[in-house]
Structure 1
Amino acid sequence: MKKFLTVVTAISLVFGSTGVTAFGSVFADINTVPWSGAAKYIDDAQSLGLMSGYTENGKKYSKPKNNVTLCESVQMIYSIMKVYTKQDVSATDVSKWTSVMSAYNIPTWAYNATAYALENKIIETSDLTKLKNGTQNASREEVGLMFGKALSLVYTVNNSATLSYKDKGQVSSAAVPYLALLNSKKVMVGDTNNNFNPNAKINRAEMAVLSVITYNTLNGSATTTPSAPTAGTLAGTVINSMVLSNGDIFLSVKANSGEGVNVFGKSTSVKVTYDGETVALKDIGIGDTVTVTYSNDSLSAVVINKSIKGIATSKTYKLKALTSSKITVKDGSNETTYRLADSVSVTIGGSKSTVAKLITAMEDYDYNVTLSFDKSDNVSKIEAMSSTNNPLSGDLTYMSDSKLTIEVGSKSYDYPLSEADVTIKYDGKSMLFSTLTSNYKKNNYTVTLKLDSKGYVTNINIDFMEDETHGTLDFINTRRLELKAAGKTYSYSIDTNVDVTIDGKSSTLATLTSKYDSNPYRVALTVDRYDTVTEIAATTKNSALSKGTLKTLTTSKITITVNSKSYDYDLSSPSIKIDGKSVTLTTLKNSYKDYSYDVELTFNSKGAVTEIIGKNTKATKGTLKTVEPKKDTITITAGGVNYTYDITSSAKVTLDGSSTTVTKLDTALEAALNSKESISVTLTLNSSNEVTKIVATSEDSDTDETVKGTLIDLDAWEISVKVSSKTKTYDFKSGTVTVTLGGKSSDVGDLEDALDDLDRDEVISVTLYLNSNNQVTKVVAKIVDEDDEDEDDKPLKGDLTSVATSSSRLIIEDSSGKEYTWYCTSSVDVSYNISSRYYDEDDYKDDLTGLKKFLSDCKSERDTCYVKLTKNSSGKITGITAQDK
């Protein structure tokens, strides 16, 4: 690896210029040194290429009594350290700090050295004010502190160290450990009176002594650091392990016998193993016993034989189960359980968390985990990343060195940043990390992320950023517009033939002018040389994620699915149109679970939804509105909207389980309407959207409740059923009562005969439909085995005893204490109708997680949790109401 010893400068003190070996001093003023011993160090510094002098009138001068600036001190440290590490500062690191150094007016000749010092914590950003303009002279303490921090990259610092100097009281506490290190290495000591003189300015002669001793301590004959043999395998103890900013490693190993090695390893080619398993370069610690394989000064392999701190080996799994002491993961097709260490650390999405919080989070999300194991093979660290399909495009709302946050609609998503370099691009060109971090708040970036297999951000593509022609449309009329960008307002005239697009579609200036006030837009402008706008590309906030399938809907939020990913948005009193007809939010909320809606959303400036335009893609189930045999058409009401279809001549029609005709269905509808009843229908359509099958069921419009149980007795006036352990008797409504038995139309007499003809192990399960007067208007019955639990007979109300969010399962108990298990749909809607002073509805989410918390609170108060359930045709629960009994 090239030893870089030349730094081009053209200022007072030059560090790192090409050295010339001197057999006599090259400096004409060497006899002016403050003390005679300094001359040799000045010549050595020049010979090593660390310090050059001044050329004046053809002669070279060292000017040993001149003061040294802080910038020059940093450059000196860099010149020494890069020889020791055989590594120049990377261009990436320099780029990372360029904007900061520029802001502090650091001289450009010192950029490399300053970036190296910042990256390796030799100086902090708070120190940059002292380096400003490169003119401030350095004190002995300031130089000692920086040199001490540089050597701390190689040697261990004793943070409890003390100084024996007479004037130690004048030394700042922060500098004490580092000055003690320099003293222990005989690099920088006190004067003949044992004073350190921390506030005295350091001159060039003193700096020559300090730099040469430091150089020799690290690289020269005076150093105790081992040298590198040509090639082979060596067993020994690590005395220094330093992972460089570019990911490569410098390793210094003291051999068990003979010479040790100083070697470099590339992050991409060095294999490090512990107990037969590959581990990271950073897992190599000082004091570890190792066996290294190398060639010249290049490291190829390290085997850690014994680790002082223990090794963290990382694997990634699918998380299956977690308790306070154990974790179960799935590795391929196998499940494995590990014990947790006593002090296990947990992160979720890169943020610090706890085992308890991860256990709670598992109820709603699936996670992949990266586990780290200590030397006892217990899990010492859990890095959990959500394995759900979270969105990767959105507004950048937070950015730090370790994570970022994007906002999509009303929801925020956190992503940790990869420890390796994160690539940032805008318009195909690279952007500095520091630029994005500094400007994201004012420039309103929209970004698309790329993640690695563990869920860490490796790439950030900037899709939109604000500047003079990109921003938020603030005002527009037919002649001019104003946009706001990065905290400023820009005004432009508009060409009479301006081209306008809205959300990628061709539009007009009039449309944009009429809509911008209620629908704020982001705009990208094209302007001519006269700063007149010739093209306007307007984009609605979240427009790329505004079209999808309706997933869930509450009074305050809507969730849609776009390309298999879910996005949540707040609602702001939205207007709603389904298939061209206006409907209320309540209507859509009550019907969306029974259908499938493709929707397009419109947003306000805060990202809340103000308009929903939808299409019911499964509007084949609803209430029969009209049927016209002569026209062969049928109209149904589905989700508050009327839909009319043509009926094929061969269409099959059934009513309450019995075959019928379109004409008879029309007659039945007329009779039902006269009796204030309704008929529900399910249609089957062919590829031409024509009806080929009609399944109709009559329903009483005044039915308030249903009762399910086992038939005990009946006659023409009343019916008795066993509900749980009690027998209840209900009167029939006067007139004809609808009866179905085994899916076929029947009557009360047929039901009596069926009851008399039952086998010994048979019963008739019934569902009674009651009107507001508690009279039976309809009976649905079927014969079942006595020992079988009929799905239709399972109660839809009772005391809630258990909620399992992971399996979407709940258990209710009837008045006799018998338990019934129900499974819920993924989009089950939970509501609360509770008036007790112990509970506040706003404390509970409208999903199973909220219901589980409500059940827990009920148990704490020793109350029952009474619920009413709603199920779909598949027997799954779609709605749950928790209420007072």
Structure 2
Amino acid sequence: MKLFKKITKIMLFSVLIFSLNLTNISAYAQIFTDVPDNYWAEDYIKKVKDLGIITGYPDATFKPNKEVTKSQALVMISRLYKLDNSTIETIKNKYRHLLDELKVESWAYDGIAVALHKGIVSEEVLREYYKSGRAKTPATKEEICIFLTRAMGLEDEAKSKTIIVLPFKDAELIPAQITPYVDMMIQKGIINSKGDSKGKFNPKAPINRAIMAKMLSIAYDYINENEKIEQILVNEDTITISGTISSILKATNEMYVTIEDENKQKNIYKVNSDTIITLDGDRIKFNELVEGLTVEAEVTNKNKVVSMKVKSIEEEYSGKVDSLALTTPAILTIEYEKNGENETRAFYIAKDVKVILNGKESFIYKIKEGDLVELQVKNKKIVKIVAESKDKHIKGIIKDIKYKPEPNLVVEDENGEIYEFPVYKRADIERNNKNAEITDLRRGDKVAIEVEYNVIKEIEARVIKSEDEGTIKEILIADRPKLTIVNKDGKEVSYYLSKDIDIDIDNDNGNIYDLRLGYFVELDIESDEIVSMEVEPIEQNDRYEGEIEYLNDDAEVIVLSVINYNTGKKEVVRIDITKFTSFIDSDGDRIKFRNLRKGDKVIAIGHFDGGIFTAKTIIVTQKVK
């Protein structure tokens, strides 16, 4: 019996020990099937997984060697912040238009919005990523250094260092503008100063999930610790003040701002890099403050600003450019009218300013002194410029001359753009190198115009000579007589008649009153005016011009494809040949019927007899090749 009890105790003890061992094994089991015990990044992977910064895959794998895409990197970095759902929803609404335009994936929507809001990536860069398809390509080491430096709030500190020497053997491959970010990540222990096994940084190398886990784990600790420090600062004994910044005095690493409250009382407060400043909800640097901003601030009893909330000021100005300094930042000075008096004011120009010059997107350096401008100003910086050049030089064709009652010239340039400007009453006008008046200009003239403040000051015009022919469709007897013809292309066109027009009718001088509908005319045209005209006083149905579709020497028949001058449509007509019909080639020499070919272009002159057109003369204008 005693032996049985002893055996029982031993078994119970063994079961207990086994159970404890199982519990211990369970507590330290692999978190992912492809992350073995003692894997170099195991602790980092577990940490970012528990924090929800990087998740695994449905098959219980982490895929530590898989490359991280640019969009994935931005989403992972955005999870370093502890934001509630309400805040994220507000941020999404702010950027929804852009995210929808770029068709950002649903899984990345929240993260990309937060990355934009926190300044981790700019709208321009994000747009380029998605428009080019690079959002799905691997993120590089240099890109992650930039993203994390910004996410950790260290960009200003990184850029403040003037001399940077990186320890890597391939340091010369790291662009100068990227160097401060890499240096900052070394300082914060995010990346190893020793580089890879060959001592290289490899700026363009892709980042895998294991390395990303390590970098994010260290970054999280930094952000979390600094949030605590900021909270301690905010929790100092402070009072809340509000008002408008009336003046700013800048020192080396700080500024002294004068805030005027609603009772016109002014007090001076110190602001520096420790001050937590937000502009319309976005974090900004202390040196971005400008006069005129409305603020609400937490200040200590020593007049030090701990935190400050700032609201934007949006203004609009219209005036004339006084000067433009292409410094950093650029400065635009304008002259404008206020309360009946001229004033001058200078503005800084935002880096991403939008410039519209003469109705087209342009660049700031194309703005010139004297140009007319409309400015949109936000927080004392110009964010949009709509400008009209003081001087414009336009070449084109006169499309119309309007009287409102003062003359306005409508010109179409070489690119098809239409311009309309009033003509200055003392404008310098020349036509064909001779002094002229506005009334001497004609539609169709080729012109070069000089425009100042949208008024034409100089016009150089030249006549464009051309020819046309066809059958008279309409004659308008008026102060400016007009002739409408149906030309050989079947198009109905109208021309004015010059007051000095030379009209030749069957080698006799004639005038407009001698013209009749249906007469065939050959016109010499200058711009939109007929200057001379040769008239054949025969009806169109006594003459056909077209291409030979069929001919039969034995039957003495030709079939032409012609344009009906009345309808403008193609039709087929039969031309009968007699022994009296003469044939003439384009040189004026006589030829035979047998010399004609299908496809030849000819003019048939003759008459109708019993409904059949009989040719008196066939003139070949173009032989088929």
Scaled to the shorter chain, the TM-score interval is: 0.3 to 0.5
Structure ranking higher in helix proportion = 2
**TM-score, with length taken from structure 1:** 0.31
Of structures 1 and 2, the one scoring higher in RCO (CA 8 A, sep 6+) is: 2
The structure with the largest alpha-carbon Rg is: 2
**TM-score, with length taken from structure 2:** 0.40
